[in-house]
Amino acid sequence: MDGKGWSTWGEGMAAGLQNGMAIIPYALLKHYRKLNLSGSEAMLLIHLLSFRQVEGIDFPSLEELQAVTGRSIAVIAGELQKLMKEGFISIDEDNDELRDIHYERYNFSGMYTKLGAYLAEAAKEASEDKNAGTAPSREAARFTTGFPVLDGGYGRTAVAVPGKAAEESRSLFSIFEKEFGRPLSPMECETISGWVDQDRYPEELILLALKESVFAGKVHFRYIDRILLEWARNRVKNAEDVKNYTQKFRSGGR
């Protein structure tokens, strides 16, 4: 790049920096999908934060949001309603008595609370993973749901195949609560919903990943999520694929 090019680039950078910078929680960028947010909903939160920090606008209009997102007012309004309904944002109202002005501003405390709760749960699961003991016995892997266990897996791991009757009589949530031995937290319920609604994992595959985690002695959501991601990368979509993949893994092939 010649001297003129560097000058142009530097001037562009300087102009951009003069427009201001917004501080965005990295946890929001990294984990918004785990909070059951779509990419456009997370971006809308980022725009709301940016309006406040850079332009001093606490309550941008739908038209202002449309100008920066390029989406219709109806879509933006629907996303704002969802964010408020699910507790990510709320609206504070106040009056400036000196100027006789009523004003509103977005409150982001719900978003920060949700992010904090997720990070705390993730740290807890990471600690449990680190301190996990030896894997339970093979009989322990058969579960109270009555699912038969097939040989195969990562080393000594086994894969359980759900019976049709059990699948019909139990929801994913009740099966997870049964195997965890406790009620699921709201964040854990959102994670399961994300696997189904956003990641499009078949329920059969989610149950198989749960059984893998139980047999491995690592019954927590981060481990189950890693299993599902590994299977997705290798195009594992059903019980037969799992059986073939684990046999290939055990034999050293890919």
| pLDDT score recorded for residue 242 | 84
- Buried-state track 132-165, b at ≥16 Cβ within 10 A, e below 16: eeebeeeeebbbebebebbebbbeebbbbbbeee
The verdict on 89 and 138 lying in the same domain is no
Residue pLDDT, tens place only, 188-222: 888 888 888 888 888 889 988 898 888 888 888 88
Domain with 101 in it: 3-112
Residue pLDDT, tens place only, 123-132: 887 777 666 5
pTM over 0.85: no
Could you say which residues of the chain have pLDDT below 50?
134-169, 254
DSSP string, 74-119: HHHHHHHHHHHHTTS-EEEEEEETTTTEEEEEEE-HHHHHHHHHHH
| pLDDT score recorded for residue 186 | 73
| pLDDT score recorded for residue 198 | 83
| pLDDT score recorded for residue 167 | 42
The secondary structure of residue 161, as a DSSP letter, is -
Distance CA 236, CA 238 (A): 6
| pLDDT score recorded for residue 64 | 94
Answer whether residue 168 is part of any domain: yes
| pLDDT score recorded for residue 135 | 45
The verdict on 74 and 153 lying in the same domain is no
The verdict on 164 and 72 lying in the same domain is no
Answer whether residue 27 is part of any domain: yes
